[in-house]
Amino acid sequence: MRTFARALALLAAAIIAGGANSTLAQPDPHGKPEKTGVGKTEHYEVWQDQGGWHLRTYTKEHDHHFRGTITARDGEMVDVKGYMLEHKGPQKDLFILGPEHHVLTFDFSTKGSVDGVDFRVKGDKPMLSFTLMLGEKEPKFEPTRIFIGKGSANPGANPFELPAHGGKM
């Protein structure tokens, strides 16, 4: 019985430690991801700097479909602007900011270039939730194709959350 209790205590400690480590492992969104960009395999980049938040989609040469949602929990997105978006034709890019300015949905077709959206977040302690998908017919989450912050970290889950005003700024 004593061995069982000890094993249970060790299991509980491991679970608690695992939770603490996952908090420490949260990607730092500050600074543009390094060693990425146009000419690389299709991917996302997400970062924050003094200008606000930035989401970019990149491809090497072929057309790829990127879609997703960014939600500001306990906050509001402001100064939302598209970046190098095509406004007509087969590669028309769209983004829609919901009426309460807390949900941004996008659908980009990127070919050998970059598309994106920039925004700021108002609120006391807002959290941003990112749901990012890649692919035309069966869009899927590909964590190794998402780079967050200067360290180019990959998210561990979809959606993933980042504090809108946290960290080192």
Q: What is the pLDDT of residues 58-96, one digit of tens each?
A: 988 777 889 999 999 999 999 999 898 887 776 789 999
- Residue 154's CB is within 10 A of a number of other CB atoms, namely 15
Task: Identify the structural domains of the chain with CATH numbers, from first to last.
Answer: 2-163 (2.60.40)
Residue 159: the pLDDT is 94
Residue 35: the pLDDT is 73
CA–CA distance, 142 with 54 (Å, rounded to integer) = 19
pTM, two decimal places: 0.80
- Residue 136's CB is within 10 A of a number of other CB atoms, namely 11
pLDDT tens digit sequence for 118-169: 999 999 899 999 999 998 888 899 999 999 999 999 999 999 999 998 654 3
